[in-house]
Chains A and B, each alone.
Chain A
Amino acid sequence: MNQLIQNLVDGLGRGSIYALLALGIAVIFGVMHLVNFAHGELITVSGYLAYWMFISGVTWYLIAPAVVICAVIVSVIIEQVAFRWVRGAADFTLLLTSFGVHFVVEALFLMYVSASVKSFNRPGWIANTFSVGSVSVEIFDMVVILVTLLVLGLTALILQRTMFGLALRAAAEDFDTARLMGVKSDRVIRGAFMLSGLLAGIAGVFWLMRAGATSPGAGTTPMLKGVLAALIGGLGSLKGAVIGGFALGLAEVLLRSNLPGSVASLTDGVVFALIAVLFIFRPQGLITVSHAERV
């Protein structure tokens, strides 16, 4: 029982990061019909910033907000440099463009920085635990879960209560009609990329804190997890993205903990198999999205 509770906390902690990444991907998909395979590059670039700040003697208290700001800025730059020019293009063109950005960013770091992994110290408190009865809980997991819940709550407030949120939701449902209502396409798309970058930046802080390292390909795994979580939840559904993130995190941890030792290393494979089974029965993901018009 204790093991199960610990696994649940661990899974929710991991799932929180996936949920933030998936939500960012879902926001962009909503307004552009773009599955953004360049989403992980926000973590790659931010990771190098964290590394450079760390070797300059900066503490995590400053690195963390810098990582978030960096992710927001890089997200907007990527939109302006790459995606702006293919708005309204076929889905496949958008997909290829996002792959292009992913590979170009990775190549730039390989060519001009280094192929080697750059390590930095994790925060001192990251491995600390506290006990609730006989259950030992990592402080890091609790911080990740609480911050994620706070961020999700604030995001929900923004989407429900602000004109920007309404415009974003309207654009996600029917972009042309949103434009007819006076929603400025440039502004709403830029806002979507800023929000997506913000969510990726917060997820990136936790990802980098846990990893304690970065490399040119550092963004690939978080990007894949985010895309998978968004697909599980139902691409285009913001609620689904969050559910998908938590479901993926819990599935990974519970499987890793409960699979026999000889196949524990195949956890990712088993997770993919389960996702494949899910898609056989619910190809649209957990939440059905009936619209998601594109720009």
Chain B
Amino acid sequence: MLEIESLTTRYGSISALREVSMTVGSGEVIGLIGPNGAGKTTLLGSVAGLLKPASGVVRFEGDDETGSSPDQMLRRGVALVPEHRRIFTDMSVVENLKIGGVTIPAAERTGMMDEMVELFPVLKDKWTTSAGYLSGGEAQQLAIARALMSKPRLLMMDEPSLGLAPILIDVVFDLIVKLKEQGMTLLVVEQNATRMLGVSDRAYVLRSGALVAEGTGTDLLARDDLFDTFVGN
């Protein structure tokens, strides 16, 4: 579904991502792990169109999408739940969902919002509440629901468990499993490597902008040296 070939992305003269290649197959859950500054968020930003790669290719369902804008990528079926959720705090929960569905026909938007309420029942009680008043867990669920409103085929999530209480982290990982069961393809950046590898089909490990390991969750979990050295978990 997603193929990344020799992707390099720079901030000025600094290469945040160096010659990274990876693939995400349809229906797979792929973990992307590594320490702070490894280039994980840069990779997601480069795929989502927020950052222009200096070189390399991003291919989605066979089409070259390198350098496409975020709205083009979303219309192609790639959605990103950004780091720190970045919900629109001045807007209500329902308005956040509506804006998440800006790319789908108006007639489908209401149905999608109903689906989101089923998937995230907590949002129903907060429907007209300003999103700025949501708790961390509620905000994360809103951020994911908002991204799902566009009916993506590939959902990318950047640190979905960041800053959440342990019980809410369970909710996030349960949701990843649930989405996987529904056939969603997921590419998830996660600092909580152990938990992520537990739900991933495969994972990639990044360090200093370069890919240093890849494999199934079980394989990588077995490599203590990898965790001690690169993840510190």
User: Which of the residues B69, B71, B88, B103 comes within 8 Å of A170, measured between beta carbons?
Assistant: B88
Output the nearest chain B residue to A174 by Cβ-Cβ distance. B86
B184 to A: closest C-beta gap in Å: 17
Near B by CB (< 8 A), chain A positions 183-219 give: 183-185
Question: How far apart are B143's CB and chain A's nearest CB, in angstroms?
Answer: 9
- Tell whether, in the assembled complex, residue A173 and residue B71 are in contact, meaning their CB atoms are under 8 Å apart: no
Chain B contact residues, CB within 8 Å of chain A: 48-50, 69-71, 74-75, 79-80, 82, 86, 88-91, 95, 98-100, 102-103, 106, 146, 150
Q: List residues of chain A with CB under 8 Å of any chain B CB.
A: 163, 166-167, 169-170, 173-174, 176-185, 291
Contacts of B102 in A (CB 8 A): 163, 166-167, 181-183
Known: A163-B102, A176-B50, A179-B50. A184 touches B71 (CB 8 A): yes
Could you name 26 residue pairs across A and B whose Cβ atoms are closer than 8 Å?
A163-B99, A166-B91, A166-B95, A166-B99, A169-B95, A170-B88, A170-B91, A173-B91, A176-B86, A177-B86, A177-B88, A178-B88, A179-B49, A180-B50, A180-B82, A181-B74, A181-B100, A181-B103, A182-B74, A182-B102, A182-B103, A183-B71, A183-B102, A184-B71, A291-B89, A291-B90
Q: Is B75 in contact with A173, judged by CB distance below 8 angstroms?
A: no
Chain A residues with Cβ below 8 Å from B99 are 163, 166-167, 170, 178, 181, 183
Among B48, B70, B75, B82, max chain A CB count under 10 A is at B70
Name the 6 nearest CB pairs between A and B, nearest first.
Answer: A182-B103, A179-B70, A182-B74, A177-B86, A182-B71, A182-B102
Across-interface contacts of B82 in A (CB, < 8 A): 176-177, 180
Question: Are B86 and A185 in touch, CB under 8 angstroms?
Answer: no
Residue of B nearest to A289 (CB): B90
Q: Is the CB of A181 within 8 A of B50?
A: no
Q: Give the distance in Å from the alpha carbon of A179 to the alpha carbon of B86 in the complex.
A: 12
| Chain A residues with CB below 8 A from B50, complex form | 176, 179-180
Contact of A169 among B48, B69, B91 (CB under 8 A): B91
A121 to B157, CA, bound (A): 63
A291 to B102, CA, bound (A): 22
> Which residues of the partner chain A approach B88 to less than 8 Å between Cβ atoms?
169-170, 173-174, 177-178
With A166-B95, A181-B150 in contact, do A173 and B89 touch (Cβ < 8 Å)? yes
Q: Hey, which chain B residues are within 8 Å of A181, CB to CB?
A: 74, 99-100, 102-103, 146, 150
Asked if B98 contacts A180 (CB within 8 A), the reply is no
CA gap between A185 and B102 in the complex, in Å: 13
B72 CB, nearest partner CB in chain A, Å: 9
> Nearest Cβ in chain A — how far from B68, in angstroms?
11
Query: A211–B50 Cα gap in the complex (Å)?
Result: 47
* Given A179-B49, A181-B99, A185-B69, 14 more pairs with CB closer than 8 A: A163-B102, A166-B98, A167-B99, A170-B88, A174-B86, A179-B71, A180-B50, A180-B79, A180-B80, A181-B100, A181-B103, A182-B71, A182-B102, A182-B150
Q: How far is the CA of A178 from the CA of B50 in the complex (A)?
A: 11
A107 to B79, CA, bound (A): 48
Question: Min CB distance, B44 to chain A, in Å?
Answer: 10
Contact of A163 among B71, B75, B98 (CB under 8 A): B98
Q: Which residues of B contact A182 (CB under 8 A)?
A: 70-71, 74-75, 102-103, 150
Please name all residues of chain A whose beta carbon is closer than 8 Å to the beta carbon of B70 when the two chains form the complex. Answer: 176, 179-180, 182
Minimal beta-carbon separation of B92 from chain A (angstroms): 10
A166 partner residues in chain B, CB cutoff 8 A = 91, 95, 98-99, 102
Q: Please tell me if the beta carbons of A179 and B91 are within 8 angstroms of each other in the complex.
A: no
Which residues of B lie under 8 Å from residue A169 when comparing CB positions?
88, 90-91, 95
